[in-house]
Chain A
Amino acid sequence: MKTLACYSIKGGVGKTATSVNLAYLAAESGLRTLLIDLDSQGASSFYFRVRPSKKNWGKRFFKTYEQLLKQIKASDFDRLDIIPAHESFRHFDALLSDKDKRQLRLKRVLKGLKKEYDLIILDCPPTLSYLSEGIFHAANMIVVPVIPTTLSERTYEQLQDFFQGNKLPTKVLYPFFSMVQRQKQLHKTTIERMSQETPRLFKTQIPFSSDIERMGEHRAPVNCVSPKTPGAQAYAALWGEISKKLLH
């Protein structure tokens, strides 16, 4: 079982859009896939029309994997299951305040799922927090959407600094360009510069596309609704790159 996190310190960069479409593509390729929506906003749960349980179960999230099993819901698609977000996930950091344990709690609890799943995808909230430290330890690969702007570039640097400062392996970080608008000069020059200097940058760029934007209306992955569109094709290419690296 592999764990793939979709993460960025910055909000609104396409983490959820990426998680949702990668999860769909992974399941379609035959992997038993579980998407865990760690963001209390519940955006990826929304895209799959899955509602969180009414029970306030967030405080048991890190207890045992059996607790997680109870919350799993099937998506409409074969081999793809989801753990929807709950608003109590907002309090994760309070649960993880114990310094000794917090780094490995998530990793340990996910391990229990390895019989049932080949791939776990984590859709993460845009924060640098105790939870994200847990994510950094649990993930085999962290894909980071970067909008090609100076501000986004800065936050990616911040993330690398955090990794170095905390003796985390930067080799699990895989950035890629998201919401790219080539006609914007800023995007163009940022892409040119970063392509030169950024290790492990994926070749595939996700274009800014109205099909992806409209995912909220269909409430389904764009790779399911309109697989021929440029946005969907870009996600398929990205999944190709990721799966090659992650599963060799």
Chain B
Amino acid sequence: MTAHSRWLIQDSSSTDQLLDQFKQKFTLEPMFIRHETLTFFDDFEWHLWRKNQLLASNNRDSILLVNTSELTFFENEPSPVFATNIDHPTLQEHLLTVTKGRRLFPMAELEVEFCNYAVRNKDLKKVCDLNIILTGFGTMIELKGLRGYDKEYRRSLKIIQRKKPDQLDHHIFHNSLNLLGIRPSDYRARPQYHLKPELDSGDATALVAQKLWHNVRINEEGIIRDWDAQFLQQYRVAIRRMRALFSQMKQSIGHEESNWFKTRLVQLAEPTSRMRDLDVYLKSEAEYTRLIPESFHEGLHQLFKDLSRERQQAHRVLAQHLKSPSYKSQISLLESRLALCPQAATKKGHKAIQQVAAQRIIKRYNSICLDAIGINNQTPDEQIHEIRLGCKKLRYLLEFFGELFPKKQTKPMLKALKRLQDNLGQFNDYSVQRESLDHYLSSHSVTPEIEAAVSALNGVLFNKQKEERAKVRDQLDDFLNQTIRSCAESLLTSHTARSNKAKKGSLTS
């Protein structure tokens, strides 16, 4: 609302001249001058950097956040490790959303001098804020107007513009870090595949697989060092995506090769399951506590203490495994086969990926439609799970190959699919949580308090599951409506669309 601008000045003598010129027209009161060595932080996925934000600590007692060029200080904050360690509620909430709770790593250092001046009129009323920030890579001049003092802002602007400074789009910290050569890693939890539409579908499959494999490998160190729970999660997700890929594309690379990879990938993921389960448990402590009456809290607390001890143990075992020769040979075997993939592409494997993908997507969509017929509140849970799995497969296909099509053709489908999956996913989560709680009780000898707490929790989760279940039919109807169907069908070339028309009548009735 109030005016606000930034400029870059290269030499320090013109900064001094600038201040002198301000002093001729206004009273310039230095409000603070700080000299700091700043350490900048970001998470493994560079979430902050990619959103044009920077987080820094002065390594003593303050944190700074640059958000779309706006700099804010937060006092009494030690160097950050996780967003959850931060005291200041708004900063904590903001960082939790952006970094998704991931560990923060130091990524660069800068020597910085901040000077803040109040520009005052004859009454000594502040009429503008003048900030000067020096980083050794340049000097940033920042002028902020105050509401109701537009004339004074314009006069200040004139003083600065006489120096002909460069306009600065980003904060000087961004420029300085760029000049320091800081670049984000190319890791993305959801890789971009950059496939060409006319690429052979077998080769495209191999390309996607290689990108996903990169994600598997890059997360290993974070698991071993236990930096945060996302390393394991993303490691597992990459493996799961590869399995889905090989399974969906088996007609392009051949059943035998597809099965070979699927078997190896299952083996690879297996030793990580226990730890992931425990991570999921431990994450839900706060929520579970909220769900059940206070009289059960002590039991729940005991349970979580046991679980976190178990997790420590599970982590030791997993870390050992990931460092073991047998794991390494598993890896190198997979890598050598991946390098040769596809070894015997099928006829379909030589068809263009865009066409093959379109066919797969519409086929998946149709099969979900078939499964959805007759679903109502009485349908057994197994059928709901069937649909959930179908949706997952469709989601993977869209993730791998969606970029081959214009956004407007895939977006409505993706959006509707996401809503449906959220609903089905919740439904499934509650059921899995209940099962694993039951399993925990039957496989551990526990105190009566824990047992009581778990049964109470189980009851609450059961009701929640029923609530989600009641929403499924509406969500399905939304997903199966004509807009989404047309969207799916538009992916096919006119030639393939025609050959599918015959089937369509029976499905939409």
Contact = CB atoms under 8 A, between A and B. Distances in A.
Interface of A: 48-51, 71-74, 76, 81, 219
B123 A73 contact: no
Interface in B141-198: 146-149
11 contacts: A49-B123, A49-B124, A50-B125, A71-B148, A72-B148, A73-B146, A73-B147, A73-B149, A74-B148, A76-B118, A76-B125
Nearest to B90: A30
Contact of B148 (A49, A73, A219): A73
A50 B118 CA distance: 15
B2 interface: yes
B236 interface: no
A73 B124 CA distance: 15
Interface residues of B, number: 10
B126 interface: yes
Interface in B108-137: 118, 123-126
B124 to A, nearest CB: 6
A83 to B, nearest CB: 9
B147 A76 contact: no
The SS class assigned to the A binding surface is loop
A71 to B, nearest CB: 8
B147 A74 contact: yes
Nearest to B124: A49
Contacts of B2: 74
Contacts of B125: 48-51, 76
Contact of B146 (A71, A74, A219): A74
A100 B129 CA distance: 46
Given A74-B2, A76-B118, A51 B123 contact: yes
Contacts of B118: 76
The SS class assigned to the B binding surface is loop
Given A49-B123, A50-B125, A73-B147, 6 more contacts: A49-B124, A49-B125, A72-B147, A73-B149, A74-B2, A81-B148
Contacts of A48: 125
A207 B427 CA distance: 63
A220 B100 CA distance: 43
A76 to B, nearest CB: 4
A51 B122 CA distance: 11
Contacts of A51: 123, 125
A219 B124 CA distance: 10
A76 B147 CA distance: 10
Contacts of B124: 49, 219
Contacts of A81: 147-148
A76 B148 contact: no
Q: Which of B2, B123, B148 has the most CB of A within 10 A?
A: B148
Nearest to A51: B123
A50 B123 CA distance: 8
Contacts of A71: 148
A84 to B, nearest CB: 9
B145 to A, nearest CB: 9
Nearest to A53: B148
A49 B125 CA distance: 5
Nearest to A77: B126
A74 B152 CA distance: 13
Contacts of A74: 2, 146-149
Contacts of B146: 73-74
A48 B121 CA distance: 13
**The 8 residue pairs across chains A and B that have the minimum distance between CB atoms:** A73-B148, A49-B125, A74-B146, A74-B147, A76-B126, A49-B123, A72-B148, A72-B147
Contacts of B123: 49, 51, 219
A229 to B, nearest CB: 22
Nearest to B146: A74
A74 B147 CA distance: 5
Nearest to B1: A116
Nearest to A84: B148
A129 to B, nearest CB: 28
A154 to B, nearest CB: 39
Nearest to A48: B125
A49 B2 CA distance: 20
Interface string B1-44: 01000000000000000000000000000000000000000000
Contacts of A49: 123-125
Nearest to B147: A74
A41 B125 CA distance: 19
Q: Which of B118, B125, B146, B149 has the most CB of A within 10 A?
A: B125
A109 B246 CA distance: 67
Interface in B89-118: 118
Nearest to A50: B125
A206 to B, nearest CB: 26
A72 B125 CA distance: 15
B245 to A, nearest CB: 50
Q: Which of A48, A50, A73, A74 has the most CB of B within 10 A?
A: A74
Interface in B449-507: none
A76 B125 CA distance: 7
A219 B120 CA distance: 14
A211 to B, nearest CB: 20
